[in-house]
Amino acid sequence: MAKKVSVILVNYNGMPHLDSCIPSVLNQTYPSFEIIFVDNNSSDGSLEYARQKFPKLVFVASGKNLGYAGGINAGLAHATGEYIAPLNIDTEVSPNLLAVMAGFLDENQSTGAVTPKILLFDDRSRINTMGANIHITGLSFCRGLNKLDDHSTRPQKVSGVSGCSYLIRREIFDKMGGAPEESFMGNDDVGVSWLVNLMNYDIYCLPEAVVYHKYTLKMNPEKLFQLEKSRYTLLLYSLKPLTLVLLFPVLAGTELLTLVYSLLKGRRYIQAKFRVWGAVCENSAYIRDRKALVEKLRKISDFQLLKRLRWNLEWGQLLSISR
């Protein structure tokens, strides 16, 4: 029998996206799945609309905005599937999405998570991302951004999934505590991928499965704060002190890069950057607890982990958000 997939849609004022996203998920060829619609206290009527038009969904009303990772975990608490598939609401998916991804995990026990080929919604000849290129400092980049789709269907081993869409084994997700709660806005995929790698599982991009994503590469002060906070938190709880010392030149260079970026962007960005350090200090108890969890999950050394990650930065993407 096909293993059940729990698709988790996290919605926050997503009314413009519902009629393209939800029907495409309902139209899957895969025989066993459920859709869990988590609403993060939307004010645009999207929850009520979805309840009325798509009554077969499992609805979870959080009552407050939990962020993307928190929304995934709220859905996970109601999921009954053996595979978990978080999916952005501003997407449309191919009918074979779940069949391709679940089939690959069925046949490859050493693979912990898979991610599809994600194309730009408004230009479906170009790539949004083919998995994530995760840098050793915790920065993440869209793999293949804006390149033409070559229509290859060959599975490709990658360092990370895209938070837009991925499929992960339920047992792995449960062991790591679900999506990382420090990731309110972005970087949840980095945290998940980081731990999947530390647990010595592979990650693959499966181009045969396709998602179309309404994506734009952009930054704002709050997003900068959330990304940097979650990045530092992840590094502190997942890497050993000696590793952080050895990586100090690279980490210092990245810190200088983000400081210069903030100075160029103005006062609100500078304030956001300085808020990061205070927020990380306030999270010391959380970091300590997560560090203990990571040591229980760990199957490879930090050195082996870093070999799986990227050592070069994606300068084109960095320059794009600096404009």
Q: Give the model confidence (pLDDT) of 190-249 as tens digits.
A: 999 999 999 999 999 999 999 999 998 889 999 999 999 999 999 999 999 999 999 999
DSSP string covering 280-295: HHHTHHHHHHHHHHHH
Q: Residues 288, 160: one domain?
A: no
Q: Residues 231, 207: one domain?
A: no
Segment 103-115, tens digit of pLDDT: 999 999 999 999 9
Q: Residues 230, 205: one domain?
A: no
Q: Residues 227, 137: one domain?
A: no
Characterize the bridge pairing of strands 58-61 and 33-39.
parallel
Determine the Cα–Cα distance for residues 294 and 106; give it in Å rounded to an integer.
26
Q: Residues 197, 282: one domain?
A: no
How many structural domains comprise the chain?
2
Mean pLDDT of the chain: 96
| CATH code of the domain in which 87 resides | 3.90.550.10
The pLDDT of residue 122 is: 96
User: What is the domain range of residue 140?
Assistant: 5-213
Q: Residues 204, 104: one domain?
A: yes
Reported confidence tier of residue 186, pLDDT bands at 50, 70, 90: confident
Q: Which of 184, 213, 242 corresponds to the end of one domain?
A: 213
Q: Residues 229, 281: one domain?
A: yes
Q: Which of 189, 213, 237 corresponds to the end of one domain?
A: 213
- The radius of gyration computed from the CA coordinates of the chain, to the nearest angstrom, equals 19
Determine the Cα–Cα distance for residues 273 and 202; give it in Å rounded to an integer.
33
Q: Which residues pair with 115 in a beta bridge?
A: 205
The pLDDT of residue 101 is: 98
Q: Residues 20, 40: one domain?
A: yes
Q: Residues 87, 178: one domain?
A: yes
Find the angle CA(163)-CA(165)-CA(171) to the nearest 5 degrees: 85
Q: Which of 167, 194, 213 corresponds to the end of one domain?
A: 213
Tokens 């519902």 belong to residue: 18
pLDDT over threshold 90, residue 152? yes
Q: Residues 30, 120: one domain?
A: yes
Segment 48-62, tens digit of pLDDT: 999 999 999 999 999
Segment 266-294, tens digit of pLDDT: 999 999 999 999 999 999 999 999 999 99
Q: Give CA torsion, residues 206, 211, 214, 218, to 10 deg.
A: -10
